[in-house]
Structure 1
Amino acid sequence: MTQNLESLTSAVVGLALDAASLRHQAIANNIANVNTQGYIPLKLNFASYMEQMEQISTTSGNLEGQKISGGKLELEQVFDSQGQPAKVELDAEVAAMAHNTVHYQTLIKALNRHYAILSSAVSDGKK
């Protein structure tokens, strides 16, 4: 039971870190190409990935760490309502990058805390 919980926790935090990293790459590309004619902005659709995980959980009755980390996060191109490439708004992209940076740092702190708890449990067991 504990092993499954550990596996699931590590997989979820790892997936969130992967998503934050990929999102950061997309935002950086969007900022770098803000004035490039014909550039199609990119975004990470993490919600659709999580919906897939929810469906797996519903059909199988549980969700294991291997299933979470087994999926692939992908970037999508962003189009406006007329099907044209969306315009990159520099202010919005910079704000999104700042938000994503804070999110990433928080995930790293959570992972550090998680491993500190595990380390404490292991070292207390040796006393």
Structure 2
Amino acid sequence: MLQTISILNQALDASVLRHNAISNNLANVNTPQYKPQKVVFEELLKGELANSSFEGNRSNAKHLSIGNSASRPFITEQPVVMQNSGNGVDVDQEMTDLTKNSIWFQTLSYQLGEEFNLLKTAIRSR
């Protein structure tokens, strides 16, 4: 259950970062030479979940984690150029991505709330 909460938390962080990237893309739709931003997270999470069999023991908080480390979403620039000005922002695609990300965020938030409800129920039943 705690692993599920951790994964949902990471996914929510990625959703917020994706919203910021999309907002930056839309704000710079008329900026010459602007390269749109994209958040990379799902690929990292899939790889981490596939290789999550080993995790090192940390005896001190200052030690680096070994194995099963938390994936951190990051922003990359897309090298697509669609306009003569060198700007690669496609407003229709960005609006579609924004809507999709909003639905994803709402779904993740609901699921995280349900996980906490299950945890509260388990605690109360003792």
TM-score by length of 1: 0.76
The code of the aligned residue for 1:75 comes to I
Is 1:31–2:26 an aligned residue pair? yes
- 1: CA distance between counterparts of 2:94 and 2:73? 20
Structure 1 CA distance for aligned equivalents of residues 40 and 93 of structure 2: 17
Aligned mates of 1:12, 1:63 — CA distance in 2? 16
Aligned to 2:123: 122
Is residue 78–residue 86 contact of structure 1 (8 Å, CA) maintained in 2? no
What does residue range 15-94 of structure 1 map to in structure 2 within 5 Å?
Answer: 15-54=10-49, 56-57=51-52, 61-62=53-54, 67-69=68-70, 71-80=71-80, 87-94=88-95
Which 10-residue stretch deviates more, 41-50 or 18-27?
41-50
Q: Counterpart amino acid of 1:10?
A: I
Q: List alignment gaps of at least 5 residues for structure 1.
A: 1-5
Number of paired residues? Answer: 112
Q: Give 2:6's match in structure 1, choosing from 6, 11, 18.
A: 11
Calculate percent identity across the aligned residue pairs.
29
4+ runs deviating over 2 angstroms: 54-57, 61-64, 66-69
CA RMSD of aligned residues (A): 2.4
Contact 1:19–1:73 (CA<8 Å) still a contact in 2? yes
What CA deviation, in whole Å up to 9, does each residue of 1:99-119 have, x standing for no partner?
100100110000100101110
Q: Give the conservation status (yes or no) of the 8 Å contact 1:24–1:97.
A: yes
Q: Which residue of 2 aligns with 1:3?
A: none
Q: Which moved more, 1:27-36 or 1:85-94?
A: 85-94
Where 2:125 maps in the other structure, the secondary structure is helix
Alignment CA distance shift 1:8-1:28 (3 Å): same
